[in-house]
Amino acid sequence: MSETFEYRIHKGWRIVIYLAAPVMIFVFAGLLVMTVAGRDEQLLKIYWLLLPVSIGMILLAGVGLLDAIKSRLWLGESGIIAESALRRQELMSHEIKGYTVADKYIFIHPNDSRLKKIKISTYVEKRSEIERWLADRYPDLDMLEAEREQAEILSNNDFGGSTRERAEKLESARKKARILNRTGTIIALWAIFYPEPYDYLLLAAMIIPVVCIVVLQTSGGLMRLEEKKGTSYPSVFAGIFMPAVALFLRSMLDHTIFDYSKLWAPLIVTALTAGLAAAVAGKKRTRQGINYYGMIVACCLAFIYCFGAALFINCRFDPSAPKQYTATVLSKRVSSGKTTSYYVTLSPWGPQVSSGEVSISKNLYTLLEENSGVKVYFLKGRVGIPWFVIDR
């Protein structure tokens, strides 16, 4: 290649891999030997788990180390070559359609579907220089798609009688999307990290996604549910996703459910219905095939939202009188990771016919001792999902 530029994985990452990979190989190789040799009875109990995990981690570390040594990217006027530990890819300049930039990779797209696109890790050195080199020679396909959609919107009579009217409607849709997304994100973060006033925040988290759906459906096709890079259509994804996650997390953290069985069937039906509705609406709007990505997004959002909303309504608005039982704390443990969780194992009580571990708050955990008694308040739930509360 004439005027060829060569790039490797960033030096900092290479150093990290050079140091970490041999350590990983040594640790998991030792674990593998101990497991196979059978010198440790505790390891033998989980033999079928440790064996594939150890082999997999050794292979992963080995490939990572080899990739750090061998990986190269060559950019030249005649084409692009990317070489890694496992493969070598090449596209000549006349075979390149353009490029796109994602969070973790730069993709070089061929103009022939029979050819494979080249994937360049963003951990490569001098990434900005590579992007400038590509921008000088090939089109940014995301930008082209955004321009195509912009022209499509401004020429579509469904969005207004004149180009100016369509442009104003598009700008209005973008403003609404920004407001809904920001409002949903603020409420979600508030509810997750400082849920006070609790009921009002969670109710707001329930309402915002509904408002987003109404605005989406009344936008006349100018707004989208799914968020996609390189599009001119505004999305309300964050306005639905963030409050849905907040509802989901708060429902899991703040309530102890006794039996989920009555929740799954309606939840699955609702999620599938939402996905089907999104697919039908998308097909009708674009007059093209089914958007499976949008369908999956709708299913997942509906599942997360309905799960959290159902448990919030079930527990916070439960009119049933609690039944009181007593149980004994058999053991205690603390789980530390990204977050710290507190657990106690209780003896059988009421409808709980066997001992079981439950999550409790830090304050209650510090007050309880092993072999001490606790009160368990059992409730039916507003929508028939039984739950309980533990107290001293």
What's the per-residue H, E or C state across 250-277? HHHHHCEECCCHHHHHHHHHHHHHHHHH
Distance set, CA 151 to CA 23, 144, 146, 250, 345 (Å): 55, 11, 9, 43, 62
- Smallest Cα–Cα separation from 255: which of 108, 361, 388, 62? 388
- Smallest Cα–Cα separation from 385: which of 267, 266, 258, 269? 258
| pLDDT number for residue 386 | 95
Q: Say whether pLDDT at 294 is over 80.
A: no
| pLDDT number for residue 145 | 86
Mean pLDDT, residues 110-135 taken together: 88
Mean pLDDT, residues 6-11 taken together: 88
| pLDDT number for residue 97 | 92
95: helix, coil or strand?
helix
Domain residues of the chain, as ranges?
A: 5-139, 151-316, 323-391
The pLDDT confidence band at residue 290, using thresholds 50, 70 and 90, is low
Q: What does the longest C-alpha to C-alpha distance in the chain come to?
A: 82
Contact predicate 302/274, CB 8 Å? yes
Residue 195 and residue 97: Cα distance in Å, rounded? 50
Alpha helices, DSSP H, located in the chain: 11-37, 41-45, 47-70, 127-137, 141-154, 163-193, 198-217, 237-254, 261-286, 292-316, 362-367
CATH of 5-139, one of 2.30.29, 2.40.50, 1.25.40, 1.10.4160: 2.30.29
b/e 159-169 (16+ beta carbons within 10 angstroms → b): bbeeeeebeeb
The pLDDT confidence band at residue 222, using thresholds 50, 70 and 90, is confident
The pLDDT confidence band at residue 47, using thresholds 50, 70 and 90, is low
Residues 6+ apart with CB under 8 A from 318: 379, 380, 381, 382, 387
The pLDDT confidence band at residue 282, using thresholds 50, 70 and 90, is low
Helix axis angle for 237-254 and 163-193, nearest 10°, is: 20
Q: How high does pLDDT run on average in the chain?
A: 87
For 299, counting Cβ atoms within 10 Å of its Cβ (0-12 exposed, 13-18 middle, 19+ buried), the class is buried
What's domain 323-391's architecture?
Answer: Beta Barrel (2.40)
| pLDDT number for residue 1 | 44
Q: Say whether pLDDT at 284 is over 70.
A: no
User: Is 323-391 the same fold as 5-139?
Assistant: no
- Smallest Cα–Cα separation from 177: which of 125, 135, 226, 104? 226
Mean pLDDT, residues 94-113 taken together: 88
| pLDDT number for residue 283 | 56
- pTM of model > 0.75: no
